[in-house]
Amino acid sequence: MTSLTRISAPRLPLLAGALLASVFGLGLAGPAHALGTIKIGVIGEDAAVAGTSITKAAQLAADEINAKGGIKGHKVEVITYDDHSSAADAVRAFQRAVNQDKVDAVIASYISEVALAIEPWSARLKKVWITPGAASTDISKHVHDDYAHYKYTFHGWLTSAFIAQSICDFSKDTLVKDFHMKSSVVMSEDAAWTTPLDARYLKCLPESGLKVLDHIRFNPDTTDFTPIYNKIEGEHPDVIITGISHVGVQPTVQWHDQRVPIAMAGQSSQATTSTFWKDTNGAAEGVITATAAGPGVAITPKTIPFIEAYQKKYGATPAYSGFSAYDDVYMLADAIAAANSSDGDKIVEQMEKTDYVGTIGRVQFYEKGNQYAHAMKYGTNYVSGTFIQWQNGKQVTVWPTNVANAKIKFPDFVKLPEQHAAK
């Protein structure tokens, strides 16, 4: 959802983009080729669990499709690229995918700064692409504000605003209702995706019954969270609501080792991965995070088969971005086959008609007049997210209640509201 380095993505005029392409010998996309094999470029981040989950899940989807005879007889080929969590490398990978490898569409990145850097190039090259993990609302805002140029962008994961709303909905149903929590502190890393996340937090947490006592944004390079936790403890909230993606291990380990007596819930992207327990040496116990799906829980009939296939092939559980990347391959391949063309405009028309039940729910995209144009629809009938908690070394699903397979349990050092009152 975010990156180590904050990289801006200015919306350069298309003419300037064309001149730059000419100067550097990049060229612009040529005429659409006759549709044969469907070629999908997949740009991930091999050094990050969430990033490598993208390329692995995409390849798994392509293998499955081809084993069943393809899409309308068309084989699907996935070509992968590693952007090293760099916006510059991602742009070069996108250009190579389009101009040299002649892909029909692109799936790219879980990092908002990277996605925002790719977006103008999608407009220049008129190439459809979808992000399976980046969350910044600016991604879909560009589509809304300048549809003619940015219509080739699709948002294949919940926007930051919807992630925050999901966390508020979860908080109301569980933290407030079941544990009688009344107050919170928002603690988020300073990144593109958390600006809209925090803005929605500050609005919807109070509406859900959690007063926001403080709003803390920290540098993603922070290594010592002791001063932050000391400050939070002094404010006596019932829960810390997080917005963290690049960081995760360090704040979790220090929360546990310092026995911070406050529950931790919200978005912790690293905690969605199956390696997080080992990475934190068990300090993840009790951490709650929003994610795409939890092990052993069938959000749709496709959820568990995908998890099992991924585990069998790669020996791990997919990160949240793996679920969406897997679905994205199917949706793009369907749209390209329906268009029977590699022409970007024709593929856009088909992508806008998407009504696909994937691993994380029913996927449709908001129309061009919506402020979240080409982002996934959010809601109980669409994709609403799932909440997992780490318990005894395993991820268990605690919300929504209709799919939950466990009850929330907090570590013994966490003091619940009744304990605070007794003290």
The tens digit of pLDDT for each residue in 87-144 reads 999 999 999 999 999 999 999 999 999 999 999 999 999 999 999 999 899 999 999 9
What gap in Å lies between CA 159 and CA 155, rounded to an integer?
8
73: left (phi over 0), alpha (psi -120 to 50) or beta: left
- What pLDDT score does 39 carry? 97
- Choose between 285 and 16: higher pLDDT: 285
How much is the average pLDDT of 47-63?
Answer: 92
Could you tell me the pLDDT band of residue 32, with boundaries at 50, 70 and 90? very low
Segment among 13-17, 37-41, 157-161, 419-423 with least mean pLDDT? 13-17
Q: Between helices 112-125 and 87-99, what is the axis angle to 10°?
A: 30
Spell out the domains of the chain, with CATH numbers in brackets: 14-159+299-363 (3.40.50.2300), 161-292+384-422 (3.40.50.2300)
- Flag whether pLDDT at 379 surpasses 70: yes
Residue 22: the pLDDT is 37
Backbone φ and ψ for 341, nearest 5 degrees, come out as -165, 155
Structure tokens at 84: 């090293």
pLDDT at 6: 31
The most distant pair of C-alpha atoms in the chain lies apart, rounded to whole Å, by 73
- In 3D space, the residue among 70, 12, 9, 63 whose CA is nearest the CA of residue 37 turns out to be 70
Position of tokens 């990277």? 114
Q: Which two tokens stand for residue 369?
A: 């007049």
Is residue 288 a contact partner of residue 179, using CB atoms and an 8 Å limit? no
Q: Where are the alpha helices (DSSP H) in 100-183?
A: 112-125, 138-145, 147-150, 160-170
pLDDT of residue 34: 57
**In the predicted model, what is the mean pLDDT of residues 147-163?**
94
Among 91-95, 265-269, 294-298, which stretch is predicted with the lowest mean pLDDT? Answer: 294-298
Mean per-residue pLDDT, 154-170: 93
- Neighbouring residues of 25: CB distance < 8 A, sequence distance ≥ 6: none
Distance between terminal CA atoms of the chain? 39
Tell me what pLDDT residue 36 has.
84
pLDDT digits (tens, 9 = 90+) for 316-340: 888 889 999 999 999 999 999 999 9
d(CA 172, CA 175): 6
Q: Are 404 and 398 in contact (CB under 8 A)?
A: yes
Q: Which long-range contacts (CB under 8 A, 24 or more apart) does 352-358 make?
A: 356/327, 356/330, 356/331, 357/300, 357/301, 357/302, 358/300, 358/302, 358/323, 358/324, 358/326, 358/327, 358/330, 358/331
- Residue 189 is predicted with a pLDDT of 94
pLDDT score, position 419: 58
Residue 9 has pLDDT above 80, yes or no: no
Among residues of the chain, what percentage have pLDDT more than 90?
77
Strands 356-357 and 153-155: unpaired
Q: What integer pLDDT is reported at residue 184 of this predicted model?
A: 97
| Of residues 91, 81, 107, the one with CA closest to residue 12 | 91
**CA contacts within 13 A on the Cβ side of 170:** 28
Read off the pLDDT band of 35 (50, 70, 90): low
pLDDT at 273: 82
Q: Report pLDDT for 293.
A: 84
pLDDT confidence of residue 269: 86
Q: Specify the residue for token string 């268009």.
A: 339
Average pLDDT on 20-42 reads 60
Q: Which of 318, 276, 311, 316 is nearest to 294 (CA)?
A: 318
Alpha-carbon Rg for the chain in angstroms: 21
Q: Torsions phi, psi of 391, nearest 5?
A: -135, 120
205 or 246, which is more confident = 205
Q: Could you report the per-residue pLDDT of 174-217, keeping only the tens digit for each?
A: 999 999 999 999 999 999 899 999 999 999 999 999 999 999 99
What is the reported pLDDT for 385?
Answer: 84
H or E segment to which residue 304 belongs: helix 303-314
Residue with tokens 């799906």: 293
Whole-angstrom Cα distance, residue 219 to residue 90? 23
Q: What is the mean pLDDT of residues 64-92?
A: 95
Angle, vertex CA 45, rays to CA 44 and CA 49, nearest 5: 110
Helix (H, G, I), strand (E, B) or coil at 161: helix
Q: Does residue 404 surpass a pLDDT of 50?
A: yes
CB 17 within 8 A of CB 56: no
